[in-house]
Structures are given as structure tokens and as C-alpha cells.
Amino acid sequence: MSGLFLQFSCSSNKTASKGASQKTNISAQTISGIYQEAAAQYKVLAAKLPANRFPKSYHASKDSLETSGSDWWCSGFYPGTLFYLYQATGDKQLNAEANRMLEALKKEQYNTSTHDLGFMMYCSYGKANEITPNAAYKDILVNSAKSLSSRFNPKVGAIKSWDSNKNEFLVIIDNMMNLELLFWATKATGDSSFYKLAVTHANTTLKNHFRPDYSSYHVINYDPATGAVQQKRTAQGYADESAWARGQAWGLYGYTVMYRETKDPQYLTQATNMADFMLNHPNLPEDKIPYWDFNAPNIPNALRDASAGAINAAALLELCRYAPEATARKYFSAAETILQALSTDTYRAAPGTNGGFILKHGVGHLPAGTEVDTPLTYADYYYIEALRRYQEFIK
């Protein structure tokens, strides 16, 4: 990973690596222990799961595990986290459980009713294919990319997110996270249409989703016949003009991926501007775990969102590969602070508790009153992903 360390030093990789290691307060031994505890947690979670159901959240007051079918947008995160933990620990029981869930998820490759096939299929089958590449996984992923592509409207220049009435074409910032599947599909098949579609969607989002301060709206409502913007709003945040924390994280991660896959500097500029918006925001707490919305009215008593923190950490640990040295250091330090916070008892559950989930204090959809101050399967996924990325700095 010499490219990582070259961001922080003009000297040798060895010197830069040593400097990164001296800076950290999260040792390799600590991370190894976290992986072991997380693996034990996911065995607790696996034991609670009904057949062919996927974990969503856990309600401690009722000792109740909330689950979904394979068509829920979060279905890929549980097997994805299992694969990450299998890679980290070598525990074959985790690999077996992940593969069991893949069978239940397989039919979603043909699901054209959702934009979330990147989350569902790339975070699961994509991880499986990294570990054990095979033609069956490739076919499933390509079919998933085709299903996702079917939701693209060339007049709008975007992939539809939520289905609604025929006069609306709704696109949410979260959809930036599903484009990675399309880039993979072009590399796997040689078909450039997937790549072009991803770029077009990202450019349309870049044009319409952002305010002058680089915060993002959650939902843009386009006219499907003309492509004109009809409405800009926020569904899961505090207000239409507020900065919903997880939405900002999705955008940061998404445009970082866009730069990785295209090397187009406009995407790096967008990612750094989004990162700076969040990291310089006066309402960002010292530990950098954001309130559920940067403009929540009851700050500092507003709920924190561990899921947004985890996504930001994973994104920043990639963004610092590409940013200039001074900002790269800032992004690395911020990600490290987030991981330090998430790894404390405040956010990381004690073994055997929390229904088997790793992290506490996620906020799913506060305005709807769902998954409020609970564990969330995607919070776990991006936390483990961020730890793995962090390890690359301290090896």
C-alpha cells in the first residue's frame, strides 16, 4: 500500500509507514481483538435469525430482532460483514453462514424494482467473488448490474430511486453508492454502457443535488418527460434545507468511488468539498460521530448516528489516498478519531449484548420513527470496512 503512505511523506515508504503507526492509538492488536469480538457477536446474531431472513436491527427493550426478506435494501450487508470478518479471522463458520445467506439473496439479481442492488448484491456477492472468484458469482453480479441499469432514464440522466406516481422521477443521494456495481460490470464484461451510465448519473447528481456549501439534499424530484427538477427535499432528515448526516456520508463515499474509477478531477473536488463541509461544520462533535442531522433543532441533545460515522470513516480512509498531503493528513486523522470513538464502549456493544450487532446508536429514519437509536446492519458493515482500510496504514 505504498500509495497510501506516499500521501503523507516524500521520504521512503518505510519512514512514512512508521510515522502513521506512531500516530495511531488503535493498534493492530486492538483491531484483531475487535474482529474476534465482532465474529462472536455475529454468531450470536446468526443463532437468532429465522430461516431465509436478514437482520435489520434489534430492539433491546423488547429483546426483539427485526428482520427482513431478501428484497430489503439492507439484505447484502449481513453476508458482506460476515465475509469481511471471515477474511480477518479465518473463521470458517462465518464463511459458511455468509454463503448460506447468498442462496437466499440470489433471486434479487433480477429485481428491477429497486435502485439498491449495489448495496444488496455488490456488498455480498461482490465480496464473495473477491474471496473466491467464479463464473456463477460473476453472472449474478452482471445480471444485477443489468437490473439496476433498467431503472435509468436518459431524459433525466439518472437511475430512478423510489417508485412513485408517473409524473415523478425520484433520485436520492444514497443512489451514488450503487454505482460501484456498474463500474465492476464494465470491467468484468468489457461493456462500457455500465460505466457510461454511472458517470451520467453521477454528473446529474453533481449538478442538482448540492447546495452552495456542498451539503446535499436527500431527494430530487425530476420530471421524467423533460428531466427538469421539480422539487428538492429531504425525507429522512430534519427539514428540506437541512443536512441529513447519513446522506452527506453517502455522497462523500460515492464521489470518492467516482474518482477512483474515473480519475476525473471534478469528482475528487466534490468529495473533498463534501468532506470539508462536514469536518469543518460547527455542529460536528469532537469525536466526529455526527448528530443524525447537522441541523437538528435539539443539538447538543440530538441523537448521534453511528452509521454515518462509520460510512464517513471508510470514505475518508480512501479519500486520503487521493487528496493533497495536507488535506490527506486531515482526513486520515478524522477517520482515526471516528474509529477510536466507535471502538469504545459508548458505541461498540459488549459481547453477547445488542442482539449480536456490533455497533449501537444508529439512526435509520427518525421522522418516520423507525430504527431510532438502534443497531443497524449497515453501520456494522462500514465500521468493519473502515477498520480494514485503517489496517493498511498501520501494517
**Whole-structure pTM value:** 0.94
| CB-based contacts of 269, cutoff 8 Å, min separation 6 | none
Which residue do the cell numbers 453476508 mark? Answer: 79
* Cα Dmax for the chain: 59
Instruction: Say which CATH architecture domain 1-48+244-395 belongs to.
Output: Alpha/alpha barrel (1.50)
Q: 162-174 pLDDT, tens per residue? A: 999 999 999 999 9
Run of H or E residues at 62: none
| Catalytic positions | 116, 174
| CATH 1.50.10.10 placement within the chain | 1-48+244-395
Closest by CA position to 208, among listed 171, 159, 248: 171
Residue 191 gets the label, from left (phi > 0), alpha (psi -120 to 50) or beta, of: beta
- pLDDT tens, N- to C-terminus, the chain (395 residues): 333 333 343 222 222 233 333 344 689 999 999 999 999 999 999 999 999 999 999 999 999 999 999 999 999 999 999 999 999 999 999 999 999 999 999 999 999 999 999 999 999 999 999 999 999 999 999 999 999 999 999 999 999 999 999 999 999 999 999 999 999 999 999 999 999 999 999 999 999 999 999 999 999 999 999 999 999 999 999 999 999 999 999 999 999 999 999 999 999 999 999 999 999 999 999 999 999 999 999 999 999 999 999 999 999 999 999 999 989 999 999 999 999 999 999 999 999 999 999 999 999 999 999 999 999 999 999 999 999 999 999 87
| CB-based contacts of 162, cutoff 8 Å, min separation 6 | 115, 170, 172, 219
* Pairwise CA distance, residues 12 & 33, whole Å: 30
Q: Are strands 219-222 and 229-233 parallel, antiparallel or unpaired?
A: antiparallel
Please give the annotated binding residues, written as ranges.
116, 174, 234, 246, 250
- Whether omega for the bond prior to residue 300 falls within 30 degrees of 0, making it cis, is yes
Q: Are the CB atoms for 188 and 143 separated by under 8 Å?
A: no
